[in-house]
Structure formats: C-alpha cells, structure tokens
Structure 1
C-alpha cells in the first residue's frame, strides 16, 4: 500500500534549541532541565502509540540519567558535556518543531514522521529508527557544533564524547527491557530478531565520531562539508526507512 508522508505534530511550547552562550555556562542543570521539560511536554501531548512518542519516552529517560550524571560530577569537563548534550538533544527537538510547522525535517528523521502511525510498524522499530537518526546523523553534527561553540578540537572532547556514548547504551538496554517481546514470543524468523541483529548502536556511535572528525577537517571547505552532510543525512534516512518496514 502506498504511503504518504504525515509530518503533523502538535505544537510544543518553548524553544527547541539553546544557544552556545547558554549551554556553556556553569549554571547547575538549567540548560539540560530545559531540554528535559521539552521532552516531558512532548510525552504529555503525544498519543502513547505514536511512533514519535515511543522514541521520546526512551530518550527522555536517558536524558534524565545524563542530568543526574552531570549533577553527580561524572563529567570532568561539565560545561563541555552540557554543551554537547544540549546541542545534541536540540537537533531532535528542532526536527520535531520543523515537522510541527509543516516543514521538512532532515532526511534522517522523515521515515519516523512518515510511518509514526502505521499499524504494521511495531514500537521497537520506532525506537530503533529514532536512535538511528539521532546517533547516525545528529550526534556527529552536534559534536562539530560543540567544537565551534567552545573553540576546541574534536580530540579535546573525546573523553566527554565517550561518556555520553556510554549513556547512550542505556537506549539499547531500555529498548530490550521495554519493547522486546519475551523469548517465548520472539521466534528466530520474527523480523524483529533480524532488526535487532542488523543495527548496532556501537557501530553508529563509532561512525558518528568518524563523521564528526571528517566534517571538522572540512570546516574550511564548506562546499565539500555541505555535500558530505547531505549524503550522511540521506544515508541515515535510508537505513531508517528500512528499519520501519512494516512487520505485520
């Protein structure tokens, strides 16, 4: 059955992004708290079965864990970690706002907005598609944004990037705990078994680091940087479309 693109999202109050001057401050938790509140608003206004709501619930839990780690002193460079975390989340929230305004979000996010209400797509697939878009595309660009905001090199952020990456592993754990059927229901021939085995958060994270380093190296060649970014976006979007293939 032919699918048409449905990008409508109920408008969510509040700004979708926080400027570099704000995220680089030492104010305890305020920029991250703003992001968390935006995600809570989304959780309240989106129907529970909405594919975007499925991803948002999981990402909200991980973002709250990130805030707790910040408060607990787990990041040696708190301003840098805050900047990366907030600019990273901001790209997701901007995609939501773009869709709400009737625009076209980045290609990596379009499959999730297109299929978010499809009855043949399971919650696990929505979660994987959101993670694929956010890590495969947004994380690399957020790292470059952070370098520009702080006037540093990607290598200066590697430690914080790794710690943020470790927290992102919680996304995968949450998916397995909350969305995977029990072993008595999940057969080897089930398409979900194939999906969980064919997409890797660790590989996506490694790819994001490599893409960010390449983009940083191309910062004085804007034409090539734009071309690479466009192709990265399209490639991640293609993977997302495959992840959302209806399974029933």
Structure 2
C-alpha cells in the first residue's frame, strides 16, 4: 500500500466527500507537492485519482477560488495562487462582528504588533518608505478636517506596518484592516477635538518618524507608547460614557 493509498483509506472513513477532497488539496500544499503558480490536474484526473465525482472536485475548487487560493485561466486550466486577503478580511469582519469585539481588544492587540512593526521597520524600512511616511505627516499637519486627517493617520500606520517587511504582520493587519481603520478614524476625531491631545498626538507621530530616520528603537518605543497613552485616555473616556449611559 503506497503513501497515497494510506491517505485515501484514512481520509475516506467517516468523512464527507468534499472534506476528503479539501484535505487532499491541503495535504498537497502542506507537503510542498503543490506550489504557487503550479497547474492543477484536470478535474477528471483528480476525480479518478480520488475515486469521487467531478462535482465534488468542482465544489472544492470553486471554494478554493473564492478563498483566493486558486485561479481559473480560461483555456489554460486551474493554477495555485496565494491571494486570500479579500476573503480573509470579509471572514474576519464577520467573526469580529459576531463576537462583538470591543475597542479595548483592538487597542491591546494594536499596541503589541505595532511596537514590533516599529522595531522591524527601523531595521528594514527603505529610504523611499521613510520618505512616504514623512510626506504623510506633512499633509497631516496641513489638513484641519479631522476625518481627512484620520485617513492620513491610517496611511501612516499602514505604511509603518508595510515598512516592517514582515509578511505575517502585514497579512494579519490586512485581515483586521476594516475594524482597525475604523478604530483609528474614530479616535482621531475624538483626540483632535482636544487641542492639547491633538498637539501631543502630532508630536508622537513625528517622534516615531524621527526614530526611523535615526534608527533609534528606544526613542521610537517611547514615542509609540506616548501615542498609545493618548489613545488610551480617549478610550477610558469612551468607556466611562458608555457605563454612564448604561446606568
């Protein structure tokens, strides 16, 4: 009994057909048998190999296509790809909505991975990326509209994430981008309403940028912490308001 026969015998027990087919593709990818841009066998050959209907193969391949792992090229066939961001963003948004993820939870996770992103960006950011962040800050200083300023704030932090050159951080950020961007926009508007905090937040952003230029993580971590302290103050106020309204 060869390796595939062992896999087939094991997987076919107490398992729905589509799960069996999905596991076959999963095993192919995880083992390295299938790589990005590899052409997938025709449906008929896979169906014969797995001893299942072509409809079952088509169902799973359609699911993989929706998930961004398969590309159907007209007249050429199906190819493996790895562009799951759109699907993952929608999926994560639904999960976070169903689980009623709170801003406090967004705040906690953001503090963690943005500090790591800063450390990596100090090491990996290109001159072009640092200059792009510089131009964003200049525009932020020129724009008085809180909503427009909030969009630039999001761009600044997204550029910092990209400058880390860590694909896992970039991927994770893209998964929760909608909620994270809403978080930044909401609190940017609240902070800009307070002149003292608005100025402190402006300085914190510029200090983060300066730390990238100087490649100084100690200074950068202080600036990042100051940034989150300002956001945290607004978060505490928001929580207090919600508690008062609930009384």
Query: By percentage of residues, which structure has more helix?
Result: 2
Largest Rg, 1 or 2 = 2
State the structure with bigger RCO (CA 8 A, min sep 6), 1 or 2: 1
